[in-house]
Amino acid sequence: MKRACPIVYRESAMGLEILVFTQATAGKQLVTGLIGAKETLAASCVRSLRQASGLKGKAKRYIGKELMAAVDATYGFYLMETDPIQEELWQIPDGIDDGEPKEFFWQRIDQPLGDEWQPIYHELFSYIQRHFNLLPDASI
């Protein structure tokens, strides 16, 4: 595995949602990160989530890995546990890891991504959707 994809999720009145963000120059994205040379996938997910969002989380459950054709890289996925997040939309003014502001919001898992998302995020989101659809109960 070369890349990590930590998944923060919640059950809302609208259904199951995952945490995503947008940046002015890079568009809408899922939180992802490179896995360090001596870093585990779980540790990378914790670090990547903290660097991207400032959220402290724990890697709760490994859900798999998948080769993503759009970038020819393997991504590993963990469901993350964080303190409850009540906000619907919030911004990190200076960003955490790259200085560019990020606006976080919740994406419904049962709604398709729009054209403004890059192909890699469509692939990642499809993998996540398949995971949640395989579960007998959407609450984890």
Question: Domain holding 7: CATH number?
Answer: 3.90.79.10
pLDDT reading at 92 higher than 80:
no
How sure is the predictor about 97, in pLDDT bands with cuts at 50, 70 and 90? low
pLDDT reading at 17 higher than 60:
yes
Q: Going by C-beta distance under 8 Å and a sequence separation of 6 or more, which residues neighbour residue 27?
A: 116, 117, 118
Q: Is residue 90 part of a domain?
A: yes
Q: Is residue 8 part of a domain?
A: yes
pLDDT reading at 127 higher than 70:
yes
Q: Is residue 140 part of a domain?
A: no
User: Per-residue pLDDT averaged across 37-54, rounded?
Assistant: 95
Q: Which domain holds residue 104?
A: 3-134
pLDDT reading at 6 higher than 70:
yes
The percent of residues in the chain predicted with pLDDT above 70, rounded, is 89
Q: Is residue 23 part of a domain?
A: yes
How sure is the predictor about 96, in pLDDT bands with cuts at 50, 70 and 90? low
Tell me how many domains the chain contains: 1
Which pTM value belongs to this model?
Answer: 0.88
**If we measure between CA atoms, which residue out of 4, 103, 6 comes closest to residue 59?**
6
pLDDT reading at 95 higher than 70:
no
| Cα–Cα distance, 81 to 5 (Å, whole number) | 13
Q: Is residue 139 part of a domain?
A: no
Tokens of 90: 């919030």
CA triple 9-100-122, angle to 5 deg: 45
Q: Is residue 29 part of a domain?
A: yes
